[in-house]
């Protein structure tokens, strides 16, 4: 079963929700967070990235940063204001980006099930990032970052959600990136029906937010806040790669080396047409690289294009080591488009770029079910939830 509980959400007054709502803390660096908060005193980034209110030479992990987060949350509760619901509730959360729509259920999910792998993972977490968010939770007394879950679709849950969204939302806003966010409060019989629907699910899967979930578990909490979306609505974009230099190669010798390592290279589009194809931008031109076939019987994670590219091309041909630590490789979320890859190469910030075919949700679930770990930087989920609309006080 999958435990789902209503909770007393702390959330902004509707008239200021668009000002409070912010990008997730981990999709921006400190400089970007400073720019986003410069003219918005109510931005929730002042809570999740509170170093923006301290001198530039202060480390994000300094004691003063966590103390400032506590102060900023208290100040925001008064100035926004943030208000806590008096009755425990679930929330239906809808995201709209262009023609894409996905609608999920926000509430509290079980840390015990997370620990027992009934909430399945597909990424490794970094201890330093866990340490940071665990301390943030403990010192603020709040789970401020929402985990993004997915599950195999359920008609019983769909039926209730479809009924809920016919009502009046508590929030309707469009973020600066053009993504629409709508939230409905759910109580009574509808909340009971959704809880029952989730109880029938054998497992949930973390799509985005592994560090948030791990930190909630480490903080000693019994539950973590998340929004769970059905798998047939979740959208994964490519997670592209750039390499800073060609190592010992010129552009011409790189093309020869790719052929020597079993990759077929032809002129092609900027976006690969299918799995097994990678688009490469080199010396001002786009090429299609047909990847060598993965070894027969290889674990599912090793058959993904990002891993085949790493093991058969980036490492042996370009000398790129562990992608988690090698400073010569960078990663570009698919939301930035292939024009960003071209810009990085033509500006000299990278020597070559690789545009990937997206991993599927089915891949993610199959690897998670097998207890496997996906290669680093495999998935880029869009659209993303906003921080600050739903907060769980602990």
Segment 85-89 mean pLDDT: 97
The 3-state DSSP class for residue 75 equals helix
Residue 14 tokens read as 């509707």
pLDDT band of residue 1 (cuts 50, 70, 90) is confident
Dihedrals φ, ψ of 213, to 5°? -65, -45
Rounded (5°) CA angle 348-349-351: 65
Query: Which residues are CB-neighbours of 381 under 8 A, at least 6 positions away?
Result: 148, 207, 208, 234, 235, 236, 237
Long-range pairs of 184-192 with CB within 8 A, sequence gap ≥ 24:
184/91, 184/92, 184/94, 185/85, 185/89, 185/90, 185/91, 186/6, 186/89, 186/90, 186/91, 186/92, 186/105, 187/6, 187/87, 187/88, 187/89, 187/90, 190/160, 190/163, 190/164, 191/6, 191/89, 191/90
Indicate if 239-357 has the same CATH topology as 4-16+82-235+381-393.
Answer: no
Where along the chain do its domains lie?
4-16+82-235+381-393, 239-357
pLDDT at 246: 97
pLDDT at 296: 86
For the chain, give the percent of residues with pLDDT over 70.
100
pLDDT at 200: 97
Dump pLDDT digits (tens) for 205-222.
999 999 999 999 999 999
Q: Output the pTM of the full model.
A: 0.93
Rounded Cα distance between 380 and 235, Å, is: 9
pLDDT band of residue 295 (cuts 50, 70, 90) is confident
239-357 carries CATH number 3.30.1760: yes
Q: Please count the residues of the chain.
A: 394
Query: Where are the strands (E) in 44-179, listed by range?
Result: 82-84, 90-97, 100-110, 119-120, 142-143, 147-151, 171-174
Segment 221-225 mean pLDDT: 97
In a 13 Å sphere around the CA of 70, the CA atoms on its Cβ side amount to: 11
Dump pLDDT digits (tens) for 336-346.
999 999 999 99
Dump pLDDT digits (tens) for 47-79.
999 999 999 999 999 999 999 999 999 999 999
Count of C-beta atoms within a 10 Å radius of residue 133? 25
The answer, yes or no, to whether residue 97 has pLDDT greater than 90, is yes
Dump pLDDT digits (tens) for 342-379.
999 999 999 999 999 999 999 999 999 999 999 999 99
N-terminal to C-terminal alpha carbon distance within the chain: 24
68 neighbors 139 (Cβ within 8 angstroms): no
pLDDT band of residue 283 (cuts 50, 70, 90) is very high
For the chain, give the percent of residues with pLDDT over 90.
97
Query: Which residues are CB-neighbours of 202 under 8 A, at least 6 positions away?
Result: 1, 2, 118
Segment 152-173 mean pLDDT: 97
- CATH code of the region 4-16+82-235+381-393: 3.90.1530.10
Query: What mean pLDDT is reported for the chain?
Result: 96
Count of C-beta atoms within a 10 Å radius of residue 229? 24
pLDDT band of residue 180 (cuts 50, 70, 90) is very high
């Amino acid at each position: 079963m999958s435990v789902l509980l209503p909770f007393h959400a702390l959330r902004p007054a509707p008239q200021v929700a668009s000002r409070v709502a912010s990008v997730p803390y981990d999709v921006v660096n400190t400089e970007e967070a400073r720019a986003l908060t410069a003219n918005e005193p109510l931005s929730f980034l002042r809570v999740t990235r509170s170093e923006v209110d301290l001198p530039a030479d202060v480390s994000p992990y300094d004691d003063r940063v966590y103390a400032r987060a506590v102060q900023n949350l208290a100040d925001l509760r008064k100035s926004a204001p943030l208000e806590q619901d008096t009755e425990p509730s679930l929330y239906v959360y809808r995201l709209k980006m262009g023609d894409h729509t996905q609608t999920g259920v926000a509430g509290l999910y079980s840390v015990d099930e997370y620990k027992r792998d009934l909430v399945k993972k597909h990424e490794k977490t970094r201890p330093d990032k866990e340490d940071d968010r665990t301390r943030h939770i403990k010192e603020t007394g709040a789970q401020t970052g929402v985990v993004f879950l997915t599950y195999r679709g359920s008609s019983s849950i769909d039926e209730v959600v479809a009924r809920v969204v016919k009502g009046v939302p508590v929030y309707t806003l469009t973020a600066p990136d053009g993504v629409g966010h709508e939230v409905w409060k759910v109580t009574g019989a509808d909340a009971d029906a959704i809880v029952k629907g989730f109880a029938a699910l054998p497992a949930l899967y973390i799509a985005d937010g592994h560090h948030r979930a791990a930190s909630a578990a480490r903080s000693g909490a019994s539950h973590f806040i998340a929004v769970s979306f059905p798998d047939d609505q979740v959208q994964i974009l490519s997670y592209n790669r750039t390499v800073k230099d060609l190592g010992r190669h010129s552009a011409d010798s790189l093309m020869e080396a790719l052929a020597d390592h079993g990759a077929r290279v032809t002129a092609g589009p900027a976006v690969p047409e299918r799995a097994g194809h990678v688009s490469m931008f080199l010396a001002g031109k786009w090429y299609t690289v047909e990847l060598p076939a993965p070894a027969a019987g290889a674990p599912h994670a090793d058959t993904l294009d990002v891993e085949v590219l790493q093991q058969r091309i980036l490492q042996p041909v370009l000398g790129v080591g562990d992608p988690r630590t090698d400073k010569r490789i960078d990663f570009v979320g698919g939301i930035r488009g292939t024009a960003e890859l071209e810009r990085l190469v033509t500006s000299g910030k990278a020597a070559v770029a690789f545009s990937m075919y997206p991993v599927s949700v089915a891949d993610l679930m199959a690897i998670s079910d097998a207890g496997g770990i996906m290669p680093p930087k495999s998935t880029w989920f869009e659209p993303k939830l906003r921080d600050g609309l739903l907060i769980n006080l602990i």
